[in-house]
Protein backbone atom coordinates (compact mmCIF):
# COMPACT_ATOMS: atom_id res chain seq x y z
CA UNK A 1 0.00 0.00 0.00
CA UNK A 2 1.09 3.54 -0.61
CA UNK A 3 0.50 6.25 1.98
CA UNK A 4 -1.48 8.86 0.12
CA UNK A 5 -2.54 11.42 2.69
CA UNK A 6 -0.52 14.55 2.75
CA UNK A 7 1.06 14.47 6.17
CA UNK A 8 1.84 10.77 6.21
CA UNK A 9 0.83 8.38 8.95
CA UNK A 10 0.76 10.93 11.75
CA UNK A 11 -1.19 10.47 14.96
CA UNK A 12 -4.70 10.73 13.61
CA UNK A 13 -4.47 8.30 10.69
CA UNK A 14 -2.36 6.04 12.90
CA UNK A 15 -5.10 5.87 15.50
CA UNK A 16 -7.80 5.34 12.87
CA UNK A 17 -5.75 2.46 11.52
CA UNK A 18 -5.01 0.92 14.91
CA UNK A 19 -8.62 1.18 15.97
CA UNK A 20 -9.80 -0.54 12.83
CA UNK A 21 -7.22 -3.32 13.14
CA UNK A 22 -8.17 -3.86 16.78
CA UNK A 23 -11.70 -4.77 15.75
CA UNK A 24 -10.46 -8.00 14.20
CA UNK A 25 -9.26 -11.16 15.83
CA UNK A 26 -6.41 -11.78 13.41
CA UNK A 27 -2.85 -10.83 14.12
CA UNK A 28 -2.09 -7.83 11.90
CA UNK A 29 1.36 -6.52 11.08
CA UNK A 30 2.56 -3.58 9.07
CA UNK A 31 5.96 -3.61 7.48
CA UNK A 32 7.95 -0.72 6.17
CA UNK A 33 11.53 -1.33 5.15
CA UNK A 34 13.03 -3.28 8.01
CA UNK A 35 10.49 -2.19 10.62
CA UNK A 36 7.63 -4.51 11.41
CA UNK A 37 5.00 -3.51 13.95
CA UNK A 38 1.67 -4.58 15.39
CA UNK A 39 -1.05 -2.68 13.53
CA UNK A 40 -3.26 -2.59 16.61
CA UNK A 41 -0.93 -0.16 18.37
CA UNK A 42 -1.05 3.59 17.65
CA UNK A 43 2.46 3.95 18.90
CA UNK A 44 3.53 1.09 16.68
CA UNK A 45 1.96 2.56 13.58
CA UNK A 46 3.62 5.87 14.29
CA UNK A 47 6.93 4.12 14.65
CA UNK A 48 6.77 3.34 10.97
CA UNK A 49 7.40 7.05 10.46
CA UNK A 50 5.61 6.61 7.18
CA UNK A 51 5.77 9.83 5.23
CA UNK A 52 3.58 10.54 2.22
CA UNK A 53 4.19 8.14 -0.69
CA UNK A 54 5.99 5.58 1.42
CA UNK A 55 5.16 1.95 0.81
CA UNK A 56 3.74 -0.33 3.45
CA UNK A 57 3.06 -4.05 3.47
CA UNK A 58 0.06 -5.40 5.37
CA UNK A 59 0.35 -8.89 6.78
CA UNK A 60 -2.41 -10.72 8.60
CA UNK A 61 -3.13 -14.19 9.83
CA UNK A 62 -6.08 -15.58 11.73
CA UNK A 63 -9.74 -16.36 11.25
CA UNK A 64 -10.71 -13.00 9.73
CA UNK A 65 -7.42 -12.30 7.96
CA UNK A 66 -8.92 -11.56 4.57
CA UNK A 67 -11.52 -9.20 5.93
CA UNK A 68 -9.02 -7.18 7.97
CA UNK A 69 -6.67 -6.73 5.02
CA UNK A 70 -9.58 -5.65 2.87
CA UNK A 71 -10.67 -3.07 5.44
CA UNK A 72 -7.19 -1.68 5.94
CA UNK A 73 -6.64 -1.41 2.20
CA UNK A 74 -9.83 0.63 2.07
CA UNK A 75 -8.47 2.97 4.72
CA UNK A 76 -5.29 3.53 2.76
CA UNK A 77 -7.27 4.09 -0.40
CA UNK A 78 -9.47 6.80 1.07
CA UNK A 79 -6.54 8.44 2.87
CA UNK A 80 -7.89 7.61 6.30
CA UNK A 81 -10.90 9.80 5.78
CA UNK A 82 -8.75 12.91 5.71
CA UNK A 83 -11.04 15.05 3.68
Partner 1 sequence: MKENKLANSETFWEGKVASPGIAIGEVFLFNQKEITVPRKKLYSSEIASEIERFQKALNLAKKELLKAQNSSNAKMKKDHSQIFETQKMFLEDEILKQNVIEKIRNEKINSEWAYQQVIDEAIQALSSSPNQYLKERVFDIQALKNRIVEYMQGVRQKKLDSVKSSAVVFATHLSPSDLLNLRKQKVGGLVLKESGVTSHVAILAKSLRIPTVVGVEENFHELKNSMPVVLDAESGRVILSPEEETLRQFRVRQEKLAQEKKKLQLLKKKSAITRDKKGIDLLANLEISEEAQAALDYGAEGVGLFRTEFLFGDSSQIPSEEEQFQAYSAVLKKFSPRPVIIRTFDLGGDKMASNYQTVAENNPFLGWRAIRVGLDVPEILETQLKALLKASKYGNLKIMFPFISNIEEIRKAKKILKQVQSQLKNEKVPMAAKIPLGIMVEVPSAALNVDIFAKEVDFFSLGTNDLIQYTLAVDRTNPQVASWYQTFNPAILRLIQISVEAAFKNKKEIAVCGEMAGETLALPFLIGLGIKELSVTPPLVPEIKEKIGKLSFSECKKIAAKVLKMDSVQEITEYLEITCRNLGLEKNF
> What are the catalytic residues?
10
Contact indicator for 9, 17 with CB cutoff of 8 Å: yes
Residues found near partner 1 in the complex (CB under 8 A): 4-12, 14-15, 18, 22, 35, 38, 40-44, 46-52, 79, 82-83
Query: What's the closest the beta carbon of residue 17 comes to partner 1, in angstroms?
Result: 11
Q: Which is nearer to partner 1, 38 or 69 (CB)?
A: 38
Minimum distance from CB of 83 to partner 1 (Å)? 7
Amino acid sequence: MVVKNKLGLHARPASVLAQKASKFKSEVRLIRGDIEINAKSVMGVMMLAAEPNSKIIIKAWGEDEEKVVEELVKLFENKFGEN
